[in-house]
Amino acid sequence: MAITDFLERNARLYPNEISLVEVNPANEPDRTLTWREYALIEASSAERYRREMTWREFDIKANRFANLLLTRGVRRGDKVAILLMNCLEWLPIYFGILKTGALAVPMNFRYTSEEIKYCLELAEVNTLVFGPEFIGRVEQVFDHLHGVKSFFYVGPSVPTFADSYDTLVNYCSSTAPAVELCDGDDAAIYFSSGTTGFPKAILHTHSALISACQTEQNHHGQTREDVFLCIPPLYHTGAKMHWFGSLLTGGRAVLLRGVKPEWIMRVVSEEKVTIVWLLVPWAQDILDAIDRGELQLSGYRLAQWRLMHIGAQPVPPSLIRRWKAVFPDHRYDTNYGLSESIGPGCVHLGVENIHKVGAIGKAGHLWQTEIVDESGAPVEPGTVGELIVKGPGVMKCYYNNPEATAAILKGDWLYTGDMARADEEGFIYLVDRKKDVIISGGENIYPVQIEDFLRTHPAIKDVAVIGLPDDRLGEIAAAIIQVKQEAELSEAEVTEFCLDLPRYKRPRRVIFADVPRNPTGKIEKPKLREIYYGKRLVEAQTTK
């Protein structure tokens, strides 16, 4: 079977039940628009507070887009990229791509124009679906995207170089295309990066996606009565694979476009949400708003909210203690995973193990784990080694990159690059990362990209970027800058210079100091971490 079979089953069994709801709190509540009503009016006048879609409408929209792609020559094995903010169209487009036998290629909405070009070429994409937020970035590289033959635009005011998705899908058949799919077929490419910051294209099959459905539902016990609140971006394997629990059970999901604490609580109350996946900063913001008296829980209906879980970054135990003090009836879970392991779930804490907060947990449903030394031999409990995982969600390969594939896949085992230890009960604790990737607010930041950018400043002699602990974001990027002799540079000048970087890549701390390098010329980042971890950064942030 294929992952699309679950959608078709839900459309058959629960045709008139709501599958997806989109809520945009930036707009004042008026009334709910059905998908059909939305299609009959101008999109520019339909920026409403709430839209919804039944399972039958979901499947029809996926079929229509699949048939549209087929008319444009998209065939089995082709790649179709999605560059959209979270919206009601996102998942029908994703499933429409899969129904053709093509591969869906979700893209990070933070990508710059050059990163968009790089990833489209890396994955050999021939069709791009994009939204209004990305017109400028796509325009900048349009003349250089020689492999992309078709551009579909989702939204009003269609640019001249693209076709209107909203218009064209309505002329296509609502019947599923006659394309046979099986679980071994290639399904999707997701992007990841190593310490160099250059994305790698991760290839997954339908079988891997199906295993994510099974693992998620096993961990969190979703039923058709559950309502899942999805806040993180759908391009991320974490958000998508957690929603797969709703897909498997036929449950409803709500896409919330915004992260303000009052918006989260309002939607949980209005939509009768039972399961919420948060990132650490969002959970922290909710608690802080409650502490300041800005958020009064008595004004919301929250009794049905049964589970809060967190993933994508280390979770401070103190945060969960605070959360349980405010929400004592909530069950809590944390999840660990990589895009190479189809997102979250290869390791999870388990709702019954809240006494082990601080650990990432044990092997997830259908998964195996080991902690090994440099030779690949298992280490004793308490000994630090590299975490490796094995299961049905392990990637097929890095697309068109056999060298990188061989470095991370050894037999059936996926080498995560994360250093960890296990206690006597088998609970796994992350210690450090082999890679220098900084995880800030659930997003990966790659130091080399920032270092290369900062080195273009005429006053900077050398620079190293490391992650430093942060209560809210997990980690923040800190730039240790060595200024050229006789030059002068202030923190304000560095901050202004970094405005050309995407916001999430800008260093949040600037430290003026020498950058140590070893005899081979490599930056000694372990030494920098030893120096600055735990130090009062304000003492180091002096202007040279």
Domain with 140 in it: what CATH number?
3.40.50.12780
Cα distance between residue 195 and residue 356, in whole Å: 30
Residue by residue, pLDDT tens for the chain (544 residues) are 999 999 999 999 999 999 999 999 988 765 555 555 554 444 443 467 899 999 999 999 999 999 999 999 999 999 999 999 999 999 999 999 999 999 999 999 988 899 999 999 999 999 999 999 999 999 999 999 999 999 999 998 999 999 999 999 999 999 999 999 999 999 999 998 543 457 899 999 999 999 999 999 999 999 999 999 999 899 988 888 899 999 999 999 999 999 999 999 999 999 999 999 998 878 888 998 998 899 999 989 999 999 999 876 667 787 898 899 999 999 999 999 989 999 778 999 999 999 998 899 999 999 999 999 999 999 999 998 899 999 999 999 999 999 999 999 999 999 998 888 999 999 999 876 666 778 888 877 878 778 878 988 989 888 999 999 888 888 899 999 999 878 899 999 999 999 999 888 999 999 999 988 754 456 778 788 888 875 544 444 433 3
pLDDT for the residue 7: 98
Structural domain count of the chain: 3
387 and 534 fall within a common domain: no
Q: Which of 311, 316, 366 is nearest to 336 (CA)?
A: 311
pLDDT for the residue 36: 52
387 and 442 fall within a common domain: no
Q: Is residue 360 part of a domain?
A: yes
Confirm if 432 and 419 have CB atoms less than 8 A apart: yes
516 and 422 fall within a common domain: no
Domain limit, last residue, from 390, 405, 433? 433
For residue 344, which amino acid is it?
P
Q: Is residue 255 part of a domain?
A: no
Domain with 443 in it: what CATH number?
3.30.300.30
321 and 458 fall within a common domain: no
Containing domain of residue 162, as a range? 4-11+49-206
- Beta-carbon contacts of 251 under 8 Å, excluding residues fewer than 6 positions away, are 222, 223, 224, 225, 226, 227, 228, 245
Q: Is residue 286 part of a domain?
A: no
Domain limit, last residue, from 415, 433, 451? 433
Cα distance between residue 60 and residue 36, in whole Å: 11
59 and 188 fall within a common domain: yes
Confirm if 125 and 148 have CB atoms less than 8 A apart: yes
Domain limit, last residue, from 188, 206, 224? 206
Between strands 150-153 and 163-164, the pairing is: parallel
414 and 443 fall within a common domain: no
Sign, Cα dihedral of 155, 161, 164, 165? negative
Q: Is residue 446 part of a domain?
A: yes
Cα distance between residue 469 and residue 452, in whole Å: 23
Cα distance between residue 327 and residue 306, in whole Å: 10
Q: Which of 363, 214, 351 is nearest to 275 (CA)?
A: 351
Q: What is the DSSP letter of 294?
A: S
314 and 369 fall within a common domain: yes
403 and 452 fall within a common domain: no
Q: Is residue 256 part of a domain?
A: no
pLDDT for the residue 267: 96
468 and 489 fall within a common domain: yes
pLDDT for the residue 438: 85
Cα distance between residue 247 and residue 517, in whole Å: 51
Q: Is residue 24 part of a domain?
A: no
314 and 423 fall within a common domain: yes
Confirm if 135 and 151 have CB atoms less than 8 A apart: no
Kindly state the tokens that stand for 417.
């690059």
Q: Is residue 288 part of a domain?
A: no
Kindly state the tokens that stand for 255.
């896409």
Cα distance between residue 468 and residue 295, in whole Å: 30
Cα distance between residue 123 and residue 398, in whole Å: 10
The 3-state secondary structure of 96-113, one letter per residue: HHHHCCCEEEECCCCCCH
Q: Is residue 39 part of a domain?
A: no
pLDDT for the residue 261: 95
Domain with 424 in it: what CATH number?
2.30.38.10
Cα distance between residue 92 and residue 7, in whole Å: 10
- Beta-carbon contacts of 278 under 8 Å, excluding residues fewer than 6 positions away, are 231, 286, 308, 309, 310
pLDDT for the residue 19: 98
Query: Alpha helices, DSSP H only, in 298-359?
Result: 317-326
Kindly state the tokens that stand for 419.
């250093």
Q: Where are the beta strands (DSSP E) in 141-251?
A: 150-153, 163-164, 186-193, 199-205, 227-230
In degrees and rounded to multiples of 5, residue 477 shows phi and psi of -80, 125
Model-level pTM? 0.83
pLDDT for the residue 378: 96
Cα distance between residue 99 and residue 69, in whole Å: 10
For residue 40, which amino acid is it?
L
How far are the Cα atoms of 82, 125, 147, 197 from residue 191, in angstroms, in the given order?
A: 12, 13, 18, 11
82 and 169 fall within a common domain: yes
59 and 201 fall within a common domain: yes
